[in-house]
Every structure is written in C-alpha cells, then in structure tokens.
Chain A
C-alpha cells in the first residue's frame, strides 16, 4: 500500500504563498489565499490559513483523505517554529523521518513543537477525518515572548541554535484541548469563524509559552537522527503499553545510544523520564479502560494492563490520581 502513496513535499511560510505548492502539485484550489480545497479524488473538506499578527500564522486542516498520501514538510532555513496539534486522537499516522507514529489501542502524542529545520512527515488516515491545527511562529517573536519569564542566560542558551534545538512531543495539554474541541464543530464559513480561529491561535500560543516555561531547560543540539531514534523508543513504549517497562538498557540499545545520553535526550524531547513516561501512558490507558464500560471489575482491568497483582495496580492508580480505580469504574 505504501507504494501507491502520493508523495508530496512542501514547506510553510508565515505568509500565505506556501499554499501555491499545494495548488501546483496536487491541483488544490485556493480562495482568497485562505481556503484550500483538494481535488475530490484526493480529499474532501478544506483547510484555512490566516495571518494572525506579524510573526504568527495559523493553518487549520479539516479533511478526509480518500487516497494514501505522505505529506513531507521539508527542512528549510526559514525563520519559524511550528507547533502542531492533532485532534484526530487515534487516527493520524504521524511520521517523523522514518519513525512512524501508529495508532491503535495505545495512546498517541497529539502535540509537537519543532524547528523549521527539522523535517516532518504526515500520513493522514484514509477515509477518516483529519483535524489538525498548526501555529507557524516567527523565531524572534517566540524568543521575545519567552524572555521575561526566564533568566537571560537560559533564554539565550535555549534560542542559540548552535547549542540547542527546540523540539518536543507530548499530549495536547488540557486547556488547549478544550479550546480545540470547541472549534472542531464549527464550519469554516460560519459567522465570525475567522475571528474565532485568530482567538484560538493566540490563546494556544499563550498556553504553549506558559507551559514551556515550566519545562526544565535541557540545552542540547539534536541531530535528525537523535530525534528519530528517541521517538522510535517512545513509540515502542506506546505500542507496548500492556507489557512491563522495557528498561533503560533495552531502550537505549534500541536508540543506539549510551544510557546517559539516551536519558538526557528522552527527557528533552518527551519532557519526562522514560520510566515516568511509560507509567503515565499506562495510567492514561487504565483510565480509558476503566471508563470504557468493557470490563466487569478492577481486577480485569489490572490483568488486561499486565499487572498480576490487582492490589498493586490500585495502589499505583491511587498514587497517580488520588482516587481508587473502583471509584470511577464504569462496569459493563
């Protein structure tokens, strides 16, 4: 199936002109430099691009693809960062370099932040709705937003591209998720949609900066290979949530790095230690299973998640969420 994929290469600009690449190569029709509609044979739905203010643009895509497409954002030296929010929770297959983010029973990381110089590949699901939003943020503008909240030394270190690469992956944070959910049901042509989209983009940016200033600064230059390798291991964990934690040795071997390097880079990209990351994802899955109504009792959920001792699972759950699993369980 991958052989039949339409391969498409592009890059963004802060101004609307990047859309011309889609028109030229895929035959998309662009109206007012804002709304883009693909040929029916490729996808239905549309996308909208707005310049919100100097230094910030937003691109919202709401399409259902009918054929397999691999959309590659090529690395450029353009002066922007991109923040990516994917609401299609279990669906989109997000491919970064050669690392494929698959979906399934596992959870998926719906948010990414990256430099224009890092390549990214998206493989939207076929015959399923893709709903994703991107902020394109001028580098100098973002730096100036960060500056007052951090010591100057840290800010200049973080934004010094010879020493550091800004890049991370995570779940969409709650405030952003709620904001995106409220946008999701509106049509692009509805009253005041453009105002709402601008409002959403600005508030998402504020949440992003607010959240990122709370990250522990890890100043490190990342190569594309580093990113690939680390995301390969996080994906491995997301794909194997029902097993035990694979252990740092296995994970770092998989990433072809020393344990110490692996720990630092993992924490830089995923904002948690590998162990904590795995446990959090497992607990989030536990939450989903408990509320799914597919299980009769907490023991069954514990066994499903690979815990032999349900008491141990309940203890872990309580430690994480402050409530016993039995108290929130929806029984089948």
Chain B
C-alpha cells in the first residue's frame, strides 16, 4: 500500500510534496500522476485569496493511504467526495465509509489529523474546499443563526470543528454539471469558482434547516436510507416504487421510513425521486437528441404533459422552451 503523508492549505505550496509521493509531478495547477497509480485530473484552483479548491477526478489502480498532517492551522476543509468503491476515513480509531454512498461530505478543522484509505478499483470524484477560518466566520457571522451553525459543526470533546454529513441533492447536481464542463482554460476556472460558491452556500443553508446531526443517528438507519437513495437513483427511469416497498426494503415501518428519510436527506422520498428524475431528464434534453415525448416515455412519466407540468414547476420554464433557448 502506498503511503502519502501530506497537508492541505489555502496556499497551494502542499502540491509538490503530494505529487512526489504519488510518483508524479506538478505541472502548472495540475498534479500529474502516472498511469499505474491513480491517474486522472488533480487540479488546484484559487477561488479568492481566502478560498482554494482542489478538484480530483481519478481512478485508483493501487491502494493508497493518505495521512493528513497539516502544518497550517488557519483553515477549514469541506470535502465533497463522490468516490465509488471502498474508501474509508479513520479518525481517532473510528472508521467511516466515505464516498457517494457513505459520508459524502465532511468538514474538518485544519488542526485535525486523519487517515484516508482508498482501495484499488475506486473511482474518485471530489471537490475539496479550503477556507480560511476568518473568512468562514465572516460569511456566517451576520447570520442570526450563527450560533446554531457553530454548534452543529463544533465537536466539544475534540475541541474542534468536525462533521461527517451527506451533501444535498442540489450539491450533487452542481458537482455533476462541473464534471461535464470541458476542463482547461480560464473559463473552466470561472465555472469551478461558480460551483464552489454554490456548494458553500448550499451547505450553509443545509446546516440551518437540518434537524439532526447525522452522526448521532443510529448507523444502521443511516446506511439503510443511503441504500434506499441509491436504489431510487438506480431505478430512476421506473415508476416510484412506493413507500411500502421502500420501507420494507429498508427494514423499517412506513412511518419511521418517511420520517427518517426526510430527516437525513432533507426531502421526502417521493420528492427526492422526482427531483432526480427531472434532473436526469433535463440532462438528456440538453444532449439534444430526444423529443420531450421520448424523454417522458423513457423516464416513465404518465405522459408528455405530466413531464411538462413537473418540469415547469421545478425550473420555471417548459421543457420545449428550455430546449429551444439552450
């Protein structure tokens, strides 16, 4: 197993050392890693002088353990991590499953050391955002619920900020759109900057409305709901399976299922399903090879007008209008 002892920071002086330990090198804002290791895109983008983003879109052909040992302690990291495969984070002896179907959003104080294990075969798509502590404080200090946010990310026992969470559906789609944006050049930076501001604001909103701290929920319930989300996304072209079927799959009563789904994802199962259905339909529409009727059929909407109505409710324009004015 390859061991990488590294650090992060708003200033990007950490890139060189990480590149070398991955047998790679730094080229401009990219870390280039050879084919046999974990090749793909590793790109560092300055968002402002207070914020830096690290974008990773790679495939692992070897096991790697990243040991984060920061020397700068003036920032907070937000990891939006959509890894598919076996990836684990170990903090103070506790392992947590990280990635698209685990904790896909984690927030760390730069004071914290942690180990992150990625197994060969994983594909990682991740945006890490490093924000200076004083800048983050500025963003949230004029918010009346400032204390509530601080409370929800503050871990008194460790006397530091740490949180393992799930990103919102909207954040997922923001990341998805960025992934499809042609990389390279100054316009790519503009789009990353736009996405990063979107992700930060989305997470601040999430902290305000979320009723629970995810980690305090029984692990089994969390993983059942995440599997349920995964099932819904895999079957996004079908009809909504219905609460009874979903609840029994998740080994819960219908009442409990509905309640806990809402608490964990911030949305009802039905609405989660529809929002994603529409987003996938919109994505297909953008490709331009399908009519609205075909898409309605493909995604099992009752008929074209049902799709049109739902689309308009969600996006404020009809699919036709959307298509014409692309």
Contact = CB atoms under 8 A, between A and B. Distances in A.
Interface of A: 53, 144-145, 147-149, 171-175, 177-178, 181, 191-196, 198-203, 205-206, 209-210, 280, 283-284, 287, 291, 320-323, 327-328, 330
B194 interface: yes
A195 B184 CA distance: 24
Contacts of B305: 328, 330
Q: Chain B contact residues: over half helix, strand or loop, or mixed?
A: helix
Given A171-B325, A177-B317, A181-B317, A149 B200 contact: no
Contacts of B320: 287, 321, 323, 328
Interface in B296-310: 304-305, 308
A145 B186 contact: yes
Contact of A195 (B181, B200, B291, B325): B200
B325 A328 contact: no
A148 B185 contact: yes
Contact of A191 (B193, B204, B304): B204
Given A177-B322, A328-B320, 11 more contacts: A145-B186, A148-B184, A174-B317, A196-B197, A198-B193, A198-B197, A206-B187, A206-B191, A291-B318, A327-B304, A328-B292
Contacts of B193: 53, 198, 202
Nearest to B204: A192
Contacts of B195: 199, 203
A323 B205 CA distance: 40
A205 B197 CA distance: 14
A284 B321 contact: yes
A239 B67 CA distance: 66
B143 A206 contact: no
B94 interface: no
A182 B204 CA distance: 17
Contacts of A202: 190-191, 193-194, 197
Contacts of A149: 185, 187
Given A148-B187, A192-B139, A284-B324, A199 B316 contact: no
Nearest to A87: B316
B187 A210 contact: yes
A178 B185 contact: no
Given A148-B186, A202-B190, A209-B187, A178 B197 contact: no
14 contacts: A145-B186, A145-B190, A148-B185, A149-B187, A178-B317, A193-B201, A194-B139, A195-B139, A203-B194, A205-B194, A206-B194, A209-B190, A291-B318, A327-B304
Nearest to B317: A177
5 smallest CB-CB distances across A and B, nearest first, come from A202-B194, A181-B316, A195-B201, A199-B197, A192-B201
B179 interface: no
Contact of B208 (A191, A194, A199, A203): A191
A283 B316 CA distance: 19
B295 to A, nearest CB: 11
Contacts of A284: 321, 324
